[in-house]
Amino acid sequence: GATIIGAGGAGGIGLKLWEAMRTNSNWANVFYMVLLTLLVVFVFDNISNFLRRRLSRTLHDYNRLEAAQG
Model pTM score: 0.61
Q: Distance of alpha carbon 29 from its chain centroid, rounded?
A: 20
For residues 48-53, give the mean pLDDT: 92
The pLDDT assigned to 52 comes to 92
**Per-residue pLDDT at 48:** 92
Nearest-angstrom CA–CA distance, 62 and 55: 10
Is the pLDDT confidence value at 16 over 90?
no
- Residue 2 pLDDT: 58
Q: What is the mean pLDDT of the chain?
A: 80
* Mean pLDDT of the region 51-55: 90
